[in-house]
Amino acid sequence: MNLIILGSVAFDAIETPYGKTDKIIGGAGSYISLAASYLTDSLGLVSVVGEDFPEEYLNLLKSKKIDIEGIEIKENQKTFFWSGKYHSNMNKRDTLITELNVLADFKPKVPDAYKDADFLMLGNLCPDMQMMVLEQLNKRPKMIALDTMNFWIDQNPDKLKEVIKKTDLLIINDEEVKLLSNSDNLVKGAKEILKQGVKYIVVKKGEHGALLFGEDQIFSAPALPLESVFDPTGAGDTFAGGLIGYLASQNDTSFETIKTAVVVGSVLASFNVEKFGTEKIANLNSDMIKERFNKFVSLTSFATL
């Protein structure tokens, strides 16, 4: 196994100004692994669902060559359920329902076949769960990437800091940089977090693209200017999936390769917002991805002085 992903597999119910869904497949782990599946076919997902989770959704993951041995199915229990509503400004959403169900006492179990992976993406979950995955591996992966959110920064800062110390690449948004550092300035904040032990930070700025920080280097990637965003759910996870999937496909962790990976992540995220839930990200092909990647290249190429 080349790439391991830890993340929620969920039922989501989403409402945006364009419409509403019933319970559909969601969860950070689903978005990350679907996005990464276009880049590598040696990936496994560590997660948990209840016995109410439809075979059809597990088959969707399998059809993308995502190994699901790491998804535990808990008898007599219900799958994690999340519901959110976006208003006309799609940058803001209200969480309507969070039912943790099987996630409440989830103890990730990493299958033996995953334990020598070179790439690991720790999706946004409780830092204790992220640590449990790290502790089960046979060797340290070449690249450990981590996503988190304001909730864990507030609730479990000590454990989160321990996990961050073991991480190479932190993928967070601009607000989270401010929470994790003591600075309101993104560049100063990122530099401060780099001192906590991570090698690279990718700061997601939504429709304004992403910034990559290394020790003495900064790279800026745009987001694709889109006329309409249908559903932003999972955009950050999809971005992370494209990014780590590309690194795993290149078997490389240099700053130059991470730059391209950030653009690949932006490409996948730009597709994700075009339809509800995972609908778009589950129906891509490599030509579509290459074509959009080239749009990003032309969007940012200009003559030198």
Q: By CB under 6 A, name the binding residues for ligand AMP.
A: 8, 10, 12, 26-28, 82, 98, 125, 233-237
Question: What residue number has its CB nearest to ligand AMP?
Answer: 26
Contact between residue 226 and residue 271 where contact means Cβ atoms under 8 Å apart: no
* Min dist. Cβ of residue 240 to ligand AMP (A): 9
Residue 21 vs 260, nearer CB to ligand AMP: 21
Q: In terms of CB distance, is 34 or 194 closer to ligand AMP? A: 34
Identify which of residues 118 and 237 has a Cβ nearer to ligand AMP in the complex.
237
- Which of 67, 86, 81 minimizes the C-alpha distance to 19? 86
Q: What Cα–Cα distance (Å) separates residue 249 from each residue in 58, 68, 258, 270?
A: 24, 19, 12, 20
Minimum CB separation of residue 112 from ligand AMP in Å reads 25
Would you say 141 or 236 has its CB closer to ligand AMP?
236
Beta bridge partners of 44: 4, 67
Dist. CA 172–CA 149, nearest whole Å: 7
Minimum distance from residue 266 beta carbon to ligand AMP (Å): 14
Q: How far is the CB of 98 from ligand AMP (least distance, A)?
A: 6
Closest CA to 70 of 118, 144, 133, 139: 133
Nearer to ligand AMP, 80 or 200 (CB): 80
Per-position DSSP letters for 199-261, written without gaps between them:
SEEEEE-GGG-EEEE-SS-EEEEPPPP-S--S--TTHHHHHHHHHHHHHHHHT---HHHHHHH
SS3 192: helix
Shorter beta-carbon distance to ligand AMP: residue 118 or 231: 231
- Shortest separation between residue 267's beta carbon and ligand AMP, angstroms: 17
Q: Give me the least distance between CB of 292 and ligand AMP, in Å please.
A: 20
> What is the rounded distance in angstroms from the CA atom of residue 288 to the CA atom of residue 106?
37
